[in-house]
Chain A
Amino acid sequence: MDTEVSNLKRSFFNALSEVTSTKSLEELRLDFLGRERGSLTKILRSLKDLPVEERAKVGAEANALRTEIEEAVAGKLKEFQSLSSLESDLDLTRPGVKIERGHLHPLTLVQDEVIRIFRLMNFSVVEGPEIETEHYNFDALNVPPNHPARDMWDTFWLKANHNSQDTIDKKKNSKSSIGHRKLLRTHTSPMQIRYMERHEPPFQILVPGIAYRYEATDATHEMNFGQFEGLMVGRDISMANLKYVIETFFNHFFKKKIEFRYRPSYFPFVEPGIEVDVMLPSTNSGQKGRWLEMMGAGMVHPNVFRNARYNPEEWQGFAFGIGLERLAMVKYKIPDIRLFRSGDLRFINQF
């Protein structure tokens, strides 16, 4: 049953929710508890005129409401005060607290991006060993021994372990050890053979990895570098498909419409062999676009299929190789390849 007190209570809390300033809060308090005009004060004052049993009931109710109102007003006041102190005391122009965080290496960022794009095209990502045999690195890829074509890949050779079978074989018969000499892979291409030896076509793979070249280091040459090998094999995989995959990749990677240029080239493990150049749209700085060599590619040479025991009459496909550092240098405008392995956090923490 609604009483006068419970009606008052409802109207107080309705009004309180509308209050937005200390001043109107004080007005509201006076409306209910003010000595002159307070509506609750009036009820309390009129208690003495009530019959005894009613006086006790209404008195308890009214006093409880008074306490409730006083607490609510105090609470609201506190809320206002803390808000006003936030506004007045804190200098919000002060800098934000520095959040320490770690940084991925730019080559990792680029590698992740490349892998992501090729996964969009349903490529499987696989890895291979960095120490290779001459067989997988050269012979099986149709690069004959003692051929100057090998000079295209200056090689780090590994010393044979004196106790290992390698050395014993070598002493017995120098010819039989050819192809088993150990080296640091000069490209990720050996995985073409390794993968084909264990898998049946059709398939498409991307092989990220480190490769090595015996060459003096300068701003654009590194003896230790990242590479991606791509290989797609099927019954009808053509050069037109190769171009589609390459162009889809680069357009995604640079997130721009870019121009492509294809030149004839020679890699013993592909035929025909091509070189792919790209030109990024010229920037606002007025920099004239120029052709950037981005990858070598081609249709898998029938001998490579034979070496992996595939029938070249039945299967065809393409392969390509992209340099990881090259991509990162173009993407982030990094002028010197040596920065990547400098370990300098002033460089790495920019990414």
Chain B
Amino acid sequence: MKFSYTILKKLVPALKSPEHLAEILTMHLFEVEGIEGDTLDVKVLANRYSDAASHWGIAKIVSAALGKRFRTPLIAEPTIKAKRDFDLEVTTPKCRRMAARYFADVHVGPSPAWLREALEVCGMKSKNNLVDITNYVTLETGQPLHAFDFDLLADGRGIDADQRGKNSSQFSTKALIVRDAKEGEKIQALDSQHFTLTKDDIVLADKETALDIAGIRGGKKAEITTHTKQMLLTAGNFDGVSIYQTSRRIALQTDASLRFSHDLTPELVSPGIARATELIVELCNAKAGGLKEEYREKPKSTNIVFNIERLNHLTGLSMKLDEATDYLDRLGFSIGKKTKIGAQVGVPSLRTDVTIFEDLVEEIVALYGVGNIKPKAPHTMLMGMEENELIHLKDRVRHILVGFGFSEVMNYSFDSFGDIEIENPIASDKRYLRSSLERGLLGNVGSNLRFFPTVRIFEIGTVFTQGAESTKIGIAIGSRKDSMVLEMKGITESFLERFGVKGAIIAPEGKSMLRVETAGHRELGMVKLVKGADFFASELEIDLATLYSVASPEREFIAPPKYPGVTRDLSVTVREKVRVGDVLSVIREVSNLLREADVIDFYRGARLGAGNQGLTFRLNFRSDDRTLTDGEAQEEFKKIVHALEEKFDASVR
């Protein structure tokens, strides 16, 4: 919201410069987001629209910060020079207060220079002196106002033409009515835009039609023009929620709707009407009529018991009672009879944000300066912290995968499809919450392959399925040439081994998947082979909680072998259709002295003849109770060769 330094300087002469003002505001009230010439752009806090979204309100706080007390100008009642009767009716409970004053002999014309400039500094355009006054008084007091051309209000005669003349006095009194809108009621706003209202909205109306959307925008029908001679000045107060909802539904936010949405106090109506009356009489040379008012809901005054010990307990200060009450006094709070430790404090009517003791503490601390509170280390019991095992596990997963050469990515939780749909998506490809990390990771693989020959990445993130959210570990690897699935398989094995998952099974499931399960056949995830637009990739997703439940946290020492082993390489030729996994299982079954068997070479080519493949295994034999002799190892080797010849028709190369 924009404020004028010139206006504030007049109210608080001690101000030195716009920067000085900005510093005081930032440290004691609202953040100043920018200064441009005379204009200060101020971030008004949501709970301070009643008392401080105005130049008078700000002058009060700034004065208090400078050690002074600002008194809101007192305005004398005008001399009533015009007499014209009208009715004021409020039929909706959403209007808490409505005041209207009739003016005659209004001279509508251009505004004086000071008024035009004041509006301009605050980001508003000058229209004519009357409209400008209503806007200017809002800037000064915080109360939105609206003026209607009195001659354009229907007097009710049009309702029934037959009645005309018969009993004209019955219809000659014009009326301003505040009522709920009718379902489907149409209205043309000042800017000529048309709106269709519902029964949840409120309007100001004459006896025939709506005149404006209450608290949001004036209507075309009784607009003030240079022809206006008589007019009705109005100031109302409406239920904040209602204005907020209407403003959201019709997608129209105005200065007035912003203010009313923050639930202004009806007490603001009085200074608003009084100040505007004063200026209209002066600048439009008008004759003021009497004030009509409906005040349905006068807020109760608030009193709070202030206690200096509680303040010091909450803030860590050791402030004296007199200092605390002095701050409150400068802000316009009334201080009742003091005891040793406290006083009854009366809250000014505009301070709707102050309702409890802690609010008073905030007022005092804001003036005293939070920066002046000395930091103190808390005195607490030393208790063992709660350790969240899953957070700890995430840490370990990250460090292990980074050790394997994988880099961590983070993607959006949104996706183009999934189980859970967003009611108000921000983009069409972000209409759902992701149900898997896969698409994000594969996208990352594809885009990074423009810069790297191979990509190894992982993500730990939340995925959302119907009724549940869970944390997944997604691992992906890819290149332009192939899916690198065997590396992924190796990573998976090593990864699970690091978490003490013994004997995990990683077995093909169809052509393009590997099922990863524990030795007890509990599924941990699937390795998927994926063909992207111009790359190949493998991706694995493991549920963090599942990993936690199968991981064994402790390891137990196993003594290194006492006796040396014997290593032999075995090269065989088998038919291509023979699966390496099957050959390995047979090798492992045959010999009980075999400790390790690895595939160290794999070959297909013309040298072996069509349909054949060559496999080389490195076999390690070892006994736990003696050093194996070459002869014993050779014996085991022969058993294996024999089994492979028999089962796979293998020939030793």
Most chain B CB atoms below 10 A, which of A104, A105, A151, A344:
A105
Contacts of B244 in A (CB 8 A): 146-148
Inter-subunit contact A247/B375 (CB<8 Å): yes
A13 interface residue, CB < 8 Å from B? no
Complex: chain B residue closest to A103, CB-CB: B407
A108 and B362 contact, Cβ closer than 8 Å, known pairs A127-B391, A158-B421: no
Q: B26 near A340 (CB under 8 angstroms)?
A: no
Residue contact A101 to B405, C-beta cutoff 8 Å: yes
Binary interface encoding of chain A residues 153-169 relative to chain B, with 1 for a CB under 8 A from any of its CBs, else 0: 00011110100000000
Residues in B lying within 8 Å of A, measured CB to CB: 26-29, 31, 45-48, 240-241, 244-245, 258, 261-263, 313-317, 356, 358-359, 361-362, 365-366, 369-371, 373-383, 385-388, 390-391, 395, 398-399, 401-414, 420-426, 433, 440, 443-444, 447-448, 451-452, 455-457, 462, 464, 466-467, 469
A323 neighbours in B (Cβ, 8 Å) = none
In the bound complex, CA of A148 to CA of B405 (Å): 49
CA distance A261 to B410 in the complex (A): 33
Is the pair B411, A341 in contact by a Cβ cutoff of 8 Å? yes
The residue of chain B having its C-beta at the shortest distance from the C-beta of A154 within the complex is B424
The answer to whether A243 and B373 have CB atoms under 8 Å apart is: yes
Give the number of chain A interface residues (Cβ < 8 Å): 81
In the bound complex, residues from chain A placing their C-beta under 8 Å from that of B425 are 156
What's the Cα separation between A204 and B263 when bound, in Å? 36
Contact A301 B409 (CB under 8 A): no
Instruction: Name the one of A107, A152, A264 contacting B370, with C-beta atoms under 8 angstroms.
Output: A264
Of A61-69, A171-179, A231-239, which binds chain B? A231-239
Which chain A residues in 59-78 approach chain B with CB under 8 Å?
Answer: none
Q: Are A102 and B313 within 8 A (Cβ)?
A: no
Tell yes or no: A262 within 8 A of B by CB.
yes
Residue contact A239 to B365, C-beta cutoff 8 Å: yes
- Chain A residues with CB under 8 Å of B362's CB are 264, 271-273
CB pair B406–A102 under 8 Å, yes or no, is: yes
- Interface membership of A125, Cβ < 8 A: yes
Contact B378 A232 (CB under 8 A): yes
Residues on A with C-beta less than 8 A from B406 are 102
A344 to B314 Cα, complex, angstroms = 47
Contact A301 B380 (CB under 8 A): no
Contact for B402 among A103, A212, A244, A346, CB less than 8 A: A103
Known: A124-B388, A241-B378. 7 other contacts (CB 8 A): A103-B407, A108-B408, A156-B423, A157-B422, A243-B370, A271-B356, A343-B447
Once A159-B421, A202-B380 are accepted as A-B contacts, the answer to whether A105 and B409 lie under 8 Å apart by CB is: yes
User: How far in angstroms is the closest Cβ of chain A from B396?
Assistant: 12
A119 proximity list for chain B (CB < 8 A): 385
Taking CB atoms, residues of chain B closer than 8 Å to A15 are none
Once the chains bind, are A244 and B241 in contact (CB under 8 Å)? no
Report B-chain residues with C-beta under 8 Å of the C-beta of A146: 241, 244-245
A53 at the binding interface (Cβ < 8 Å): no
Cβ of B227 to closest chain A Cβ, rounded Å: 38
- Report yes or no: B358 in contact with A301, Cβ–Cβ below 8 A: yes
Q: How far, in whole Å, are A122 and B48 apart by their CA atoms in the complex?
A: 37
Query: Which residues of B lie under 8 Å from residue A264 when comparing CB positions?
Result: 28-29, 45, 362, 365-366, 370
Taking CB atoms, residues of chain B closer than 8 Å to A158 are: 420-423, 433
What are 10 A-B residue pairs whose CB atoms fall within 8 Å in the complex? A125-B385, A131-B420, A146-B241, A147-B241, A152-B46, A240-B317, A263-B27, A264-B365, A272-B366, A341-B412
**A122 to B466 CA separation, bound complex (whole angstroms):** 37
The answer, among B371, B390, B408, B447, for a CB contact under 8 Å with A260, is B371
The answer to the question of A348 belonging to the interface, with a C-beta cut-off of 8 Å to chain B, is: yes
Residues of B within 8 A of A245 (CB): 378
- Check B46 against A345 for contact (C-beta < 8 Å): no
Q: Mark A190-210, 1 if CB is under 8 A from B, else 0.
A: 000000000000111100101
* Chain A contacts for B47, CB-based, 8 A: 149, 266, 268
